[in-house]
Structure 1
Amino acid sequence: MSNALKVYIRNSTLQRLGQVSEYTSLTVVPRFNAIGAIALELPADSPSAPLLVEGNGLIVKTGSGDTVLTGPIRTVDWSRSESDAGGGQLKVGAVSDDEVLARYACWPAPTAAIGSQTAPLYKIDAASVETGMRDLVNLNAGPGAQASRRHALLTLATNGLRGGALVRQVNQFDNLLVVLQDIAAAAGLGFRVVQVGSNLQFQVFTPTDRSATARFSFGLGNLTDANYSTTPPTCTRAIVVAGGGTSPRVCKVYDRADPLFPGLTLEQFVDQTSVDTASVDLAAQMDQAGTEALTNGAGSGSLSISPIDLPNLRYGRDYNVGDTVSAQLRGGTWYTDVVREVTLTSSVGESSVKATVGGDNADGAVARIYQYIARIKKDIGRLTTRKAA
């Protein structure tokens, strides 16, 4: 990554309006399969300040012209102190374009009017995981959505048919971003929404394993600091139960030993009782539910490192969010995992890169609490759905 990050302003139709050349502080946080963030500080009397308003957006690029992150402005805060000789300071906050996926719910019948939403579930039966993910986006927010729900700027990249077959039920009105995160995590895929010309494009990709080439250690001279912590699993045995209402009850157990906590068994009930056990794809649906429960409940190691950009190993060129990298821990042990997020900071005369490898997209303990609450909420939703049906 070039040390000089450049910031541009775009309007609501994604047309570039100008450059912010006078910022005093910039923090950019791209995240894997999650919403990134941009924080910008500058003098309030700067020439570009009048363009930094809600409704416009930011484009952050490296000095070499590669896009780091783009997204809409969400907050503009002004402050001035008695000692400030100028017009005060502006603090501008933006989110990545991935946030568009969080705006939508998964309707059980996406092409039908709200008064015709009688089905309690949306059924995915796709030849590939990518196809299923694209269908969800297309029918709920993209070109294939109802006119009243369609996002005018959202398009879909060419289908690469990544991942195996996908058979899954989505509870009515589950959040689109959360559903995509669950599906992608179980399949080992990545997704993002990026600005391509005058559109926002939904893309699915296969993360790259760069663990043999993107290696960080104090001995190699490309680290300034590192911190490693572990979070225990919440599920190592998924007990999936289907049917039991209008069809016979079927139970199946899925085990996955946790490498960080060997010998630890944690059972979790996975409610699939809304699935008719006479369905021809019963096994596939139960397998998918078991895999997602074990993936979401796996223990994790979280490594925060501050790598040094060297000529032969630079962020944005030799590794990126979603890629697998290696870092050497105490005792010479090499840790290999996915780059979940990267924090890029730039100010007058200084720049830095800080990467979070493995773990969650937020602080481990807090993220696990929210995951647990989300799972309880999802289970309650399924119970409500069955009662209504």
Structure 2
Amino acid sequence: MASNALRVYARNASLQRIGQVSDYTSLTVIPRYNAIGAISLDISADSDSAPLLAEGNGLIVQTAAGQTVMSGPIRTVDWSRTASDAGAGQLKVGAVSDDEILARYTCWPSPTTAIGSQTASAYKLASVAAETGMRTLVNINAGPGALASRKNPLLTLAADGARGGTITRQVNQFDNLLVVLQDIAGAARLGFRVIQIGSALQFQVYTPTDRSSTARFSFGFGNLTDASYTTTPPTCTRAIVVAGGSSSPRVCKTYDKADPLFPGLVLEQFVDQTSVDTASVDLAAQMDQAGAEALTNGAGQGSLAITPIDIPNLRYGRDYNVGDTVSAQLRGGDWYTDIVREVTLTSTTTDSTVKATVGGDAGGTSTVARIYQYIAQVKRDVGRLKTRKAA
């Protein structure tokens, strides 16, 4: 194993380490910001570590310095053998990050009540900090405060830092917990994760770190090997929020956000808030929150992929992480700044590489991702240049 290769350990269902997997042939780890990450590991089926790699167990991936990159449960163990294999064949092990625990649960309208007594149509978060609201949803649907039949004994919560602005939000009955958290975090510009702390899985909310002045990547600096960007058109530029209509009068309101690449494009999307009583004193706050989330999720997106090179003064895991803001010098020499959405770490017996994806993703930190705005400006500039040459 190369000195800079990632270390892999197996754990059992109780999160206890049961051995190191030191003879893998290839390892790919993809941490993602506010989303479920992935691990893929190739190893000989003859390996002494093979019995540790079973569904129900898990993997812990660490750097050579002992920093945990990702951990999570094993989901697949696939076997294959070809005529050229001298031994028992090969295993490809697939795992997901511990964030997946959040995707197992839905948001009950009355979380402390048995399923047969669910009479409410929604659960309401009223005038609370975004982090407080997120922790509340995790606690009462899956954590220590959940019904005994739903409580996950491995899940704990970090202390509440009351991060993010104040929100008032009605959570529709049985919405997926992870999706709701992504919506709230995206609008509040927060990050969240589930990581292993001792023999427990801890839900944490944090404010991403701006490292744009120190984590800078450029071909000229010699710490960037390639870069590319892509765009995805918007799906919603006008949110039509409708509240009430059953037991209270209907109220409708539109929220608009012009797209920088298609400024004249109008894409309407219905946002169902008909379960909200329009007599509520916080009706406006609830409709505003729903409109903001719809425009965030439906905004045009840009994604920048860069392959940075670790240098002594700038290394992934030490000087920047997923969720941090970094800078990259792109087309025309301009500097672009945005959040690291995911990182693909590849480790073999001889080498390790890092590829980062910056910007994009509907759970972004702004209604329209900053890279999308940047690319729109570049394309407009190129268009004006062509027009001048044609003239």
Normalising by structure 1, what TM-score?
0.90
Aligned-pair CA distance for 1:269: 2.5
The answer to whether the 8 Å contact 2:169/2:286 transfers is yes
Which residue pairs with 2:73 in the alignment?
72
* Separation in 1, partners of 2:4, 2:146: 42
* Separation in 1, partners of 2:116, 2:110: 11
List gaps (5 residues or longer) in structure 1. 363-389
Moved more, 89-98 or 325-334: 325-334
The answer to whether the 8 Å contact 1:260/1:300 transfers is no
* Separation in 2, partners of 1:310, 1:265: 46
The answer to whether the 8 Å contact 2:299/2:362 transfers is no
Aligned-pair CA distance for 1:361: 7.7
Which residue pairs with 2:250 in the alignment?
249
The answer to whether the 8 Å contact 1:303/1:357 transfers is yes
* Separation in 2, partners of 1:101, 1:72: 13
The answer to whether the 8 Å contact 1:340/1:361 transfers is no
Over the aligned positions, Cα root-mean-square deviation in angstroms equals: 1.5
Which residue pairs with 2:238 in the alignment?
237
Matching of residue 139 in structure 1 with residue 129 in structure 2: no
Which residue pairs with 2:44 in the alignment?
43
* Separation in 2, partners of 1:361, 1:249: 29
Aligned-pair CA distance for 1:272: 1.6
The answer to whether the 8 Å contact 1:223/1:305 transfers is yes
Give 1:197's aligned amino acid. G
Identity %: 79
Which residue pairs with 1:219 in the alignment?
220
Aligned-pair CA distance for 1:87: 2.0
Moved more, 289-298 or 206-215: 206-215
The answer to whether the 8 Å contact 1:302/1:359 transfers is yes
Matching of residue 163 in structure 1 with residue 160 in structure 2: no
Give 1:214's aligned amino acid. A
Q: What are the within-5 Å matches in structure 2 for residues 178-327 of structure 1?
A: 178-327=179-328
Question: Measured at CA, do residues 23 and 195 of structure 1 come closer, stay the same or move farther in structure 2, by a change above 3 Å?
Answer: same
The answer to whether the 8 Å contact 2:298/2:362 transfers is no
The SS at the match of 1:186 is helix
* Separation in 2, partners of 1:31, 1:297: 20
* Separation in 1, partners of 2:337, 2:298: 19
Which residue pairs with 1:340 in the alignment?
341
The answer to whether the 8 Å contact 1:37/1:96 transfers is yes
* Separation in 1, partners of 2:294, 2:236: 7
Question: Measured at CA, do residues 333 and 264 of structure 1 come closer, stay the same or move farther in structure 2, by a change above 3 Å?
Answer: farther
Aligned-pair CA distance for 1:126: 4.5
The SS at the match of 1:337 is strand
The answer to whether the 8 Å contact 2:55/2:75 transfers is yes
* Separation in 2, partners of 1:259, 1:63: 44
Aligned-pair CA distance for 1:263: 4.2
* Separation in 2, partners of 1:38, 1:296: 26
Which residue pairs with 1:118 in the alignment?
119
* Separation in 1, partners of 2:254, 2:81: 61
Aligned-pair CA distance for 1:84: 1.5
Aligned-pair CA distance for 1:234: 1.8
Aligned-pair CA distance for 1:333: 2.4
Aligned-pair CA distance for 1:3: 2.6
The answer to whether the 8 Å contact 1:261/1:299 transfers is no
The SS at the match of 1:127 is strand
Aligned-pair CA distance for 1:35: 0.5
Q: What are the within-5 Å matches in structure 2 for residues 354-369 of structure 1?
A: 354-360=355-361
CA deviation vs aligned residue, 1:67-93 (integer Å, no higher than 9, x gap) = 000000111112222322122111111
Aligned-pair CA distance for 1:255: 2.5
Which residue pairs with 1:7 in the alignment?
8
Aligned-pair CA distance for 1:359: 1.3
